[in-house]
Structure 1
Amino acid sequence: MKFTRVLGLIAAAGLALSLVGCGVNNIPTKEETAKQSWADVQNAYQNRADLIPNLVATVKGAAAHEEGTLTAVVEARAKATSVNVDASTISDPAKFKQFQQSQDGLSSALGRLMVIQEQYPNLKANENFLALQSQIEGVNNRITIARRDYNAAATQYNLSLRTFPSVIWAKTLYGSSKPMELFTASAGAETAPVVSFDKPAAPAATAPAAAPASH
């Protein structure tokens, strides 16, 4: 009886090792790695959103005439933070697209806000603005890195659902697993925001009317 039990344990251990060798754990392992990378993306975006109210207040104090730009940033932030994000977002094309578009919209509005400092010497010398500007730049760098890392992890996970031998488990044990969406470059991302401070051209002077000819 004891001998039979030992043989059973050995067989079970051998089966477990063979499953590991066949990659049965690859899918859940890569899925968790990608989810952690996604959490890093969310955290970076949240950090940026937390900085914006102070940035808007600082700019408003030194550049009150930029009401349109400030309003655009506030509205873009509200839209970005109102998008409902949950665990299903990364495998739902529509939800993921909505999330990326809202965040890219905030990036665009924020970029225009940061450019206006060139017109306001007081703003360029404002210590609070300079500190916030530095923090925003740091967070934007973190967002870029977090998105890149997430894309890499999600790509590896997606490949595990399609390549041998893990595709066997994707079709059996993990049949409900769905591929994850990837971040793409936003339209116009390669172009820096442009704000024109040129004064409108003065209207052309009207030529004086010719004097009537004398007879």
Structure 2
Amino acid sequence: MLTLSIILGLIVALVLYVISLYNGLVDKRARTEEAWSGIEVQLKRRHNLIPNLIETVKGYASHEQATLETVISARNTAMQAGQTTTNSTAQAETMLSGALRQLFALAEDYPDLKANSNFLDLQGQLKELEDQIQMARRFYNGSVRELNIMVDSFPSNLVATRFSFTKFEFFELDEAEASEVKKVPSVKF
């Protein structure tokens, strides 16, 4: 009778442990999905800001049509990629960031554009959005790391496999953007 109680107690403890692991996996998956949603919100805000920026630049640099078309094309690609995988979204957003850098480099050639308060306001908003995207990306990648560790670690990997929990992709910078971020600015007097 005593051994039956011990065996029954061990089975109940094991079931409770499996339930705890399952709930932990569900929690981490939900946090990761929430973090991805945060990235999508910031990217959508950036996508919505770009047409205003293009219109402002058009007034001053209308003959720079190729640069403007590159930004518009990159924006459209990024908006479509947001509906597919994390990797394709990251690649499309990297292309958009490069096109925006070209657009802002254009402003250096047009002093009137550079001094335009509308352009400066949009540029400031875009910079703020880029910072928020970077924070959202870090939060997402941290959530992905926690979920992926739990999916790979023993014994939670047994529960993850049984209930079809899968690893998520990190939202990574492409090599060109990563090297751009790592550059140290040079200061000359």
Letter in 2 for 1:18: L
Residue 164 of structure 1 corresponds to which residue in structure 2?
A: 154
Residue 46 of structure 1 corresponds to which residue in structure 2?
A: 44
Secondary structure, aligned partner of 1:99: helix
Instruction: Note the residue ranges of structure 1 that are not aligned, 5 or more in a row.
Output: 1-10, 90-94, 193-215
- Give the number of equivalent residue pairs: 171
Secondary structure, aligned partner of 1:185: coil
Task: For 1:137 and 1:84, locate their aligned partners in 2 and report how far apart those are by CA, in whole Å.
Answer: 20
- Deviations, residues 62-88 of structure 1 (Å, cap 9, x unaligned): 111211111100111111112362xxx
Indicate how the Cα distance of structure 1 residues 84 and 44 shifts in structure 2: closer, same or farther if over 3 A, else same.
closer
Residue 166 of structure 2 corresponds to which residue in structure 1?
A: 178
Indicate how the Cα distance of structure 1 residues 21 and 74 shifts in structure 2: closer, same or farther if over 3 A, else same.
closer
Poorly superposed stretches of 4+, deviation over 6 Å: none
Within-5 A mapping of 1:1-215: 15=13, 18-19=16-17, 23-83=21-81, 85=83, 89=84, 95-172=85-162, 174=163, 176-189=164-177, 190-191=179-180
Task: For 2:26 and 2:114, locate their aligned partners in 1 and report how far apart those are by CA, in whole Å.
Answer: 50
1:17 CA displacement: 8.5
Q: CA contact under 8 A between 1:22 and 1:165: conserved in structure 2? A: no
Indicate how the Cα distance of structure 1 residues 159 and 145 shifts in structure 2: closer, same or farther if over 3 A, else same.
same
Letter in 2 for 1:43: V
User: What TM-score do you get using the length of structure 2 for normalisation?
Assistant: 0.82
Instruction: Note the residue ranges of structure 2 that are not aligned, 5 or more in a row.
Output: 1-8, 182-189
Residue 5 of structure 2 corresponds to which residue in structure 1?
A: none
More helix by share: 2
Coordinate RMSD, CA, aligned: 2.2
Quote the sequence identity (%): 34
Q: CA contact under 8 A between 1:26 and 1:166: conserved in structure 2? A: no
1:16 CA displacement: 9.0
Task: For 1:98 and 1:39, locate their aligned partners in 2 and report how far apart those are by CA, in whole Å.
Answer: 16
